[in-house]
A and B are shown apart, each in its own frame.
Chain A
Amino acid sequence: MAFTFAAFCYMLALLLTAALIFFAIWHIIAFDELKTDYKNPIDQCNTLNPTVEKVKKIKRVRLALKLVLPEYLIHVFFCIMFLCATEWLSLGLNMPLLAYHVWRYMSRPVMSGPGLYDPTTIMNADILAFCQKEGWCKLAFYLLSFFYYLYG
């Protein structure tokens, strides 16, 4: 097969998906850390520490939410690429995730900056569990699509 635009799209998507996998892993780790942080109370100095710990925690969450937008943009980007290359099957496979992303972003909490996660509610067990589940599902999806692009 000649080096067509479609092939270029797949190669690009392959690379970008690798990046997305990285993001997803990062996402999972961030939330896992959030969740299990309390398991490490050995040095009470740190756990009872009133300022540093919290700032760190907020930063971690902020970092997590900074990664959200790039992830969405990358995904939107290669969806558009597929659209241009008229690769309907690949596009179709990605549509559900795209729709989910749009919905997720529309229903985010009120905030001035970009982002999804609200540091005040993130520790709520339901939300935390949801975010973790979301991370795992996305990781699975990206892995599958990675192999699909590789062989497709």
Chain B
Amino acid sequence: MSVPGFNPSPAAGLSRHPTPNGGAAPLYQNGPGQTYPLMQSQAGYGAPHPHYNSAPGHYAQMPKKAPPVNNQYGMNYYQNNNQQPMQTTARPEMAPVFRAPQVHSSRPPVSSQVVGPTSNVSMSSASPLHTGPPQPGSYPASAGYYGGSMPLVGPAGTSAQGFPPLSALATVPSAPNSAYPTVSFPSAPGSSQYGTLPSSQTSAASHNLVGTGPTPSSVSTAPRAPLQQVSLGHSVTSSWPSSAAVSAPPSYSGNFPGTIAAINSKANTVPPSSANHLDQSCQPPWNRTFGAVHPTAGSPAPGRLATVTPTPPVSASLAQHEGMQYGNVANSSASSAPAPLSSSSDDEDDDDEGADSSSTTSSASPVPNNYEALEGGSYPDTSSKLPPGPPVSQASKVAKPFGYGYPSLQPAYQQTPAPCSHPTNFQSFNPSSPGYQQDSKPYPTMNQLSADLGGLSLPALQLEALRPVNLMQDRNILPSTEVQAPLPNLSTDLKKANCSSDSFRCTLTNIPQTQALLNKAKLPLGLLLHPFRDLTQLPVITSNTIVRCRSCRTYINPFVSFLDQRRWKCNLCYRVNDVPEEFMYNPLTRSYGEPHKRPEVQNSTVEFIASSDYMLRPPQPAVYLFVLDVSHNAVEAGYLNVLCQSLLENLDKLPGDTRTRVGFITFDSTIHFYNLQEGLSQPQMLVVSDIEDVFLPTPDSLLVNLKESKELVKDLLNALPCMFTNTRETHSALGPALQAAFKLMSATGGRVSVFQTQLPSLGAGLLHSREDPNQRSSAKVVQHLGPATDFYKKLALDCSGQQIAVDLFLLSSQYSDLASLACVSKYSAGSIFYYPSFHHVHNPVQAEKFQKDLRRYFTRKIGFEAVMRIRCTKGLSIHTFHGNFFVRSTDLLSLANVNPDSGFAVQMSIEESLADTALVCFQAALLYTSSKGKRRIRVHTLCLPVVSQLNDVFAGADVQAITCLLANMAVDRAISSNLSDSRDALVNAVVDSLSAYRSATSSLQQSGVIAPYSLRLFPLYVLALLKQKALRTGTSTRLDDRVFAMCEFKCQPLQQIMRMIHPNFYRIDNLTDEGALHVNDSIVPQPPILQLSAERLTREGAFLMDCGSVLYLWVGKSCDVTFISDVLGYPNHASIPQNMTQIPELETPSSERTRSFITWLQENRSFNPVLCIVKDDTSAKTNFFQLLIEDRTEAALSYYEFLLHIQQQISK
């Protein structure tokens, strides 16, 4: 859906040459390949899935129309089948086939009768579908989040207005080395003073973007110079939903034609005028628009916008304002990466200024250049100051009323003149600066404001994190909004540059210095990665040389240090490297000699367009093969119809370019190929019955170019659901079908989607039922969690070697040995989807979920032939990986495909003491081929401080990340050892860490279970883990369900796992607009999150439980009748039907509130969860009550009992 007039060809941009294309031309070149479908608009909210309504009708139609088809097909098909074993003649239509005796190619007589009905059907039901929003859910929701935040931002705007006076103070400094961080001053309106600031850099001033506007007036009057747009985009990498930009006032859009165009185009389209190296110039405007949107929406003076925009990180700062403003309310969106930065940006502004002024005043300070200190390599003395108390001057600072206590990290970063004359250093806050105090005093209100808004300075946060909580007494530990990731205790600049916690999270945000210290803390050290997440804003860089460390091959990142203009020091291995000539030129500012201002060094998440050095072969095209089970069982379940319809709708949206190829294989006891060669009048079916030795009936034309053969593909998809309606074949030869798929795909690589509905019963890889239903609820041993055969694993490894990923959709009602089948996806980096007891009529919940998932699955981004390497600072090493991939080397994962919904976990260990560094960095580099055939590298870098005290380790614990990593470890343990071992290990993890904390703070001799505030949810989460399907015992759990839950733990991103482990629970029958978010034009109420306990349930209420993939809406028996009638559309509780999965659109305020809340939840994630309405008497009720994890069940402890148990263990 590229917008005409846009320049998709990268050729021009690849030559990075400083040929200026006119002053106004944006510097960026459009990068192909990156597909961020951005088409979502408000419309999506208003029309909740009209297709579902039409769907049932459609199904109902099918059988009626099917018979004529079946007869014909069935005839042919069976003829063939029966004749097969001995028949030696091929049908006339059949192309000359290799082993003719065994092959039957029969061309199904797709007559007009056949095609007619199906096409009619598709016409009637599919056409409305095409109008549906093409967008997977996450965008709109997050867009809504931001859009909604607008009005509330008003205060931020106003507080920003208070700024300009400050600027007067800030104009003073003229440090020779006032460096680029100054560019990133968040206080937008004060840009005037910042403008002057960099100008103090003698020569660099003219290059400095911000500096170019020497007077405030010029800045504000020309805010939209393309240059500025560009720089903006590169300043902040965060995950703002681009669609929110749609909600920008029209006046803006007028100003940015490029922006709006970019909205509708996939991310790579760029205004034709722009020809430059950095891709996705469409992104920058977003960012800018964003920054702009908030203040204007909030405050009536749009003129403010102009002053807001010029400094690149404005949007970041605003986001911070915003985050503060809402307190925690607004931060619940998964995509609000920078918002949770809870140190107030106002503070930061002051601090930065303080730093600047201090850098001028305290230039004689003996403390070394701060960047050196950051590295910690050469100045161990300064870095070792890190954990101990701050110097006196800082202490006085802390005592100040505004919560200014700054991290004790700071002394190490004091600003001094750099030994070299280069502006290479981060400016940091120097607490001892006298000028600083003067600066801050005149504006107490502002500071007060920010302090009130939750902008606690870091030590306060860390102290708070260490505050002991007696879990036995303090029941209300669950925050009423979603739990946020803790922030690493870093300096402001580093924090700003750091990777978003949505993409990259560490279990300990303070890394212990030694393995001994880590062992003492008894907490796991690891990373949780979501590397290919859908980002709406990502700097894409095209340059001839990708700058990397020569010894460890680390990509240059914001945390390296520039020794001088020509050399930089790697932050992972400390090798000093040369800065290549090309890197000296900064395409952002079009200036020379500022390597530290390049976008690579400004952003911790960047994407490079890789050169041919990074290819072994030409980038592969997007290739999709569908392997479909068409045995009797499959036809009975009726998934084919849903699948084919969904694929028909999304055929044009499959990511790819003109080279995209598709193919189809169906199988029961034989394997059917489909010749879709362009020029044929109809699809041709070729049957191979020799499943012992599978071969391809024709060398080509089984995988065909989608563009050329689109009509044939559509014909086939229309015909497929009816072709097998009368089949009596019950066997399933999955193994041979997979082998055939492997043979078909091995030349190119690509994605194989397997749809399987039963236990494979024929040929290689056949499986036997291993589950004993009587053992399902056994509390002792759960067997058969591992694979029964290594056939699927070996096949997956072969596939992985040929860059083929296998995605498994299991839609079975019977035991299908997922433990064995899942291997085929696990080791080929595929995804696993499981729909237990799927039936298109009898199980509408699963059918709807399947349909929604498919839509996302077909349209989501995909990367082919990928590898991911994770590097970390010397001294750390990678211990174990978790996820779906093949580990090729100690730090290299081979991913045949990578999709935006898969997460990875990594266990780390500390091999050497980190005592001589103050910071450690982790870098994940994902090299992949985009669906447009471009080789790209996405690099994430995370920087964390090192601590030497046990208390600091506890203060930095990230309880969600720890829980997710433990879940992964527990799954491994359960498979390799047994379930009870892994359950014990989980309990021990809590007991050990809490008793370690207890002994660390020996002064506390209280009884009860004492946990640091940062870990207060740890016992609760672990209890929740123990009650998960994957790990529970004593409750009847089907083996496949259990294995699937385990697979989910291994490959889902953190947010999704957390929702599974600890669902969010809301009461929704009394929603109010208090604290609501404003999304586009609707209001999303934000009810508080309740504890997962039946205690919170009342018969009078209606409650919503959000478990990630399902939303349960529990309606109490004596629930308010007005709620039932206004929201559910039924007169009373008794008349609510079972299996209700939607809320009707009613014109009542409560209905609108409820719907907007549920839609917001649904669209907040990539796979839309289905809504399941639970009445008092339905079977879903069991599921619902099992999720109330704080309660006692017959097989598991309640939360309080669990705490008692832990207390016993600790005091032992």
Size range of the chain A interface in the assembly: 20 to 34
Number of A-B contacts (CB under 8 A): 87
Contact status B890-A44, CB under 8 Å: no
Chain A interface: which of B156-164, B783-791, B1125-1133? Answer: B783-791
Which residues in B have their C-beta under 8 angstroms from that of A50?
A: 616, 803, 865, 867, 894
Contact status B789-A110, CB under 8 Å: yes
Q: Of B616, B865, B886, B890, which contacts A35 at CB under 8 A?
A: B890
| Given A48-B614, A110-B788, A41-B887 contact (CB < 8 Å) | no
Which residues in B have their C-beta under 8 angstroms from that of A42?
A: 550, 553
- Per the 8 Å Cβ criterion, residues 51-72 of A in contact with B are 51-55, 57-58
Q: Of A34, A48, A54, A111, which contacts B801 at CB under 8 A?
A: A54
Is A134 among interface residues, defined by CB-CB distance under 8 A? Answer: no
Is B909 among interface residues, defined by CB-CB distance under 8 A? Answer: yes
Is B889 among interface residues, defined by CB-CB distance under 8 A? Answer: yes
Q: What 1/0 flags go to A108-134 for Cβ under 8 Å of B?
A: 011110000011100111101000000
Is B927 among interface residues, defined by CB-CB distance under 8 A? Answer: yes
Which residues in B have their C-beta under 8 angstroms from that of A112?
A: 789-791, 794
- Per the 8 Å Cβ criterion, residues 771-808 of B in contact with A are 786-791, 793-794, 797, 800-803
Which residue from chain A places its CB closest to the CB of B866 in the assembled complex? A50
Which residue from chain B places its CB closest to the CB of A56 in the assembled complex? B888
Contact status B880-A125, CB under 8 Å: yes
Contact status B894-A54, CB under 8 Å: yes
Which residue from chain A places its CB closest to the CB of B786 in the assembled complex? A110
| Given A41-B553, A53-B888, A125-B880, A120-B797 contact (CB < 8 Å) | yes
Is A4 among interface residues, defined by CB-CB distance under 8 A? Answer: no
- Per the 8 Å Cβ criterion, residues 68-125 of A in contact with B are 109-112, 118-120, 123-125
Q: How far is the CB of A108 from chain B (nearest CB, A)?
A: 11
Is A2 among interface residues, defined by CB-CB distance under 8 A? Answer: no
Q: What 1/0 flags go to B159-198 for Cβ under 8 Å of A?
A: 0000000000000000000000000000000000000000
Contact status A38-B616, CB under 8 Å: no
Contact status A57-B888, CB under 8 Å: yes
Q: Of A110, A111, A120, which contacts B886 at CB under 8 A?
A: A120
The winner among B548, B550, B790 for most chain A CB atoms within 10 A is: B790
Is B99 among interface residues, defined by CB-CB distance under 8 A? Answer: no
Alpha-carbon gap, A123 to B802, bound state (A): 20
Which residue from chain B places its CB closest to the CB of A53 in the assembled complex? B888
Which residues in B have their C-beta under 8 angstroms from that of A125?
A: 877-880, 890, 907, 909
Alpha-carbon gap, A37 to B927, bound state (A): 19
Which residues in B have their C-beta under 8 angstroms from that of A49?
A: 616
| Given A58-B797, A112-B789, A123-B927 contact (CB < 8 Å) | no
Alpha-carbon gap, A82 to B1192, bound state (A): 63
Is A1 among interface residues, defined by CB-CB distance under 8 A? Answer: no
Which residues in B have their C-beta under 8 angstroms from that of A37?
A: 889-890
Is B90 among interface residues, defined by CB-CB distance under 8 A? Answer: no
Is B552 among interface residues, defined by CB-CB distance under 8 A? Answer: yes
Contact status A119-B880, CB under 8 Å: no
| Given A50-B803, A50-B865, A44-B553 contact (CB < 8 Å) | yes
Which residues in B have their C-beta under 8 angstroms from that of A126?
A: 879-880
| Given A53-B888, A110-B786, A120-B894 contact (CB < 8 Å) | no
Which residue from chain B places its CB closest to the CB of A58 in the assembled complex? B797
Is B1210 among interface residues, defined by CB-CB distance under 8 A? Answer: no
Alpha-carbon gap, A111 to B823, bound state (A): 13
Contact status A54-B613, CB under 8 Å: no
Q: Of A35, A53, A110, A119, which contacts B797 at CB under 8 A?
A: A119
- Per the 8 Å Cβ criterion, residues 545-578 of B in contact with A are 548, 550, 552-553
Contact status A120-B793, CB under 8 Å: yes
Which residues in B have their C-beta under 8 angstroms from that of A54?
A: 800-801, 886, 888, 894
Alpha-carbon gap, A114 to B786, bound state (A): 18
Which residues in B have their C-beta under 8 angstroms from that of A58?
A: 797, 801
Alpha-carbon gap, A35 to B890, bound state (A): 6
Contact status B793-A57, CB under 8 Å: no
Which residues in B have their C-beta under 8 angstroms from that of A53?
A: 888
Which residue from chain A places its CB closest to the CB of B928 in the assembled complex? A50
Which residues in A have their C-beta under 8 angstroms from that of B909?
A: 125
Is B892 among interface residues, defined by CB-CB distance under 8 A? Answer: yes
Alpha-carbon gap, A37 to B891, bound state (A): 9
Which residues in A have their C-beta under 8 angstroms from that of B879?
A: 124-126
Alpha-carbon gap, A45 to B616, bound state (A): 7
Alpha-carbon gap, A125 to B972, bound state (A): 14
Is B827 among interface residues, defined by CB-CB distance under 8 A? Answer: yes
Q: How far is the CB of B794 from chain A (nearest CB, A)?
A: 8
Q: How far is the CB of B307 from chain A (nearest CB, A)?
A: 45
Alpha-carbon gap, A127 to B877, bound state (A): 15
Which residues in B have their C-beta under 8 angstroms from that of A38?
A: 889-892
Alpha-carbon gap, A110 to B869, bound state (A): 28
Alpha-carbon gap, A102 to B77, bound state (A): 52
Q: How far is the CB of B353 from chain A (nearest CB, A)?
A: 42
Contact status A111-B790, CB under 8 Å: yes
Contact status B890-A55, CB under 8 Å: no
Which residues in B have their C-beta under 8 angstroms from that of A35?
A: 890
Alpha-carbon gap, A87 to B881, bound state (A): 48
Which residue from chain A places its CB closest to the CB of B549 in the assembled complex? A41
Which residues in B have their C-beta under 8 angstroms from that of A51?
A: 616, 801-803
Q: Of A57, A118, A119, A124, which contacts B889 at CB under 8 A?
A: A57
- Per the 8 Å Cβ criterion, residues 888-907 of B in contact with A are 888-892, 894, 907
The winner among B878, B892, B907 for most chain A CB atoms within 10 A is: B892
Which residue from chain B places its CB closest to the CB of A113 in the assembled complex? B790
Which residues in A have their C-beta under 8 angstroms from that of B869?
A: 47
Which residues in A have their C-beta under 8 angstroms from that of B827?
A: 120
Contact status B552-A48, CB under 8 Å: no
Which residue from chain A places its CB closest to the CB of B614 in the assembled complex? A48
Which residue from chain B places its CB closest to the CB of A45 in the assembled complex? B613
Alpha-carbon gap, A123 to B907, bound state (A): 13
Alpha-carbon gap, A58 to B827, bound state (A): 13
Which residues in A have their C-beta under 8 angstroms from that of B550?
A: 42
Contact status B889-A123, CB under 8 Å: yes
Contact status B801-A55, CB under 8 Å: yes
Contact status A110-B787, CB under 8 Å: yes
Which residues in A have their C-beta under 8 angstroms from that of B791?
A: 112
Q: What 1/0 flags go to A13-38 for Cβ under 8 Å of B?
A: 00000000000000000000011011
Alpha-carbon gap, A37 to B548, bound state (A): 19
Which residues in B have their C-beta under 8 angstroms from that of A47?
A: 553, 869, 889, 892
Alpha-carbon gap, A37 to B889, bound state (A): 7
Alpha-carbon gap, A53 to B867, bound state (A): 12
Alpha-carbon gap, A45 to B891, bound state (A): 16
| Given A41-B552, A110-B787, A123-B890, A52-B616 contact (CB < 8 Å) | yes
Which residue from chain A places its CB closest to the CB of B937 in the assembled complex? A48
Which residue from chain A places its CB closest to the CB of B896 in the assembled complex? A50
Which residues in A have their C-beta under 8 angstroms from that of B889?
A: 34, 37-38, 47, 57, 123
Contact status B616-A123, CB under 8 Å: no
Which residue from chain B places its CB closest to the CB of A129 in the assembled complex? B879
Alpha-carbon gap, A44 to B553, bound state (A): 8
Alpha-carbon gap, A34 to B865, bound state (A): 22
Alpha-carbon gap, A42 to B553, bound state (A): 7
Q: Which 3 A-B pairs have the closest CB atoms?
A: A123-B887, A125-B879, A111-B790
Which residues of B approach A to under 8 Å, CB–CB?
548, 550, 552-553, 613-614, 616, 786-791, 793-794, 797, 800-803, 826-827, 865, 867, 869, 877-881, 886-892, 894, 907, 909, 927
Given A57-B888, A111-B790, 7 more pairs with CB closer than 8 A: A34-B889, A34-B890, A35-B890, A47-B889, A49-B616, A123-B887, A126-B879
Show 30 residue pairs from A and B whose CB-CB distance is below 8 angstroms, ordered by the A residue.
A34-B890, A37-B889, A38-B892, A41-B553, A42-B553, A45-B613, A45-B616, A47-B892, A50-B803, A50-B894, A51-B802, A53-B888, A54-B801, A58-B801, A109-B790, A110-B786, A110-B788, A119-B886, A120-B826, A120-B827, A123-B881, A123-B890, A124-B879, A124-B887, A125-B877, A125-B878, A125-B880, A125-B907, A126-B879, A126-B880
Which residues of A approach B to under 8 Å, CB–CB?
34-35, 37-38, 41-42, 44-45, 47-55, 57-58, 109-112, 118-120, 123-126, 128
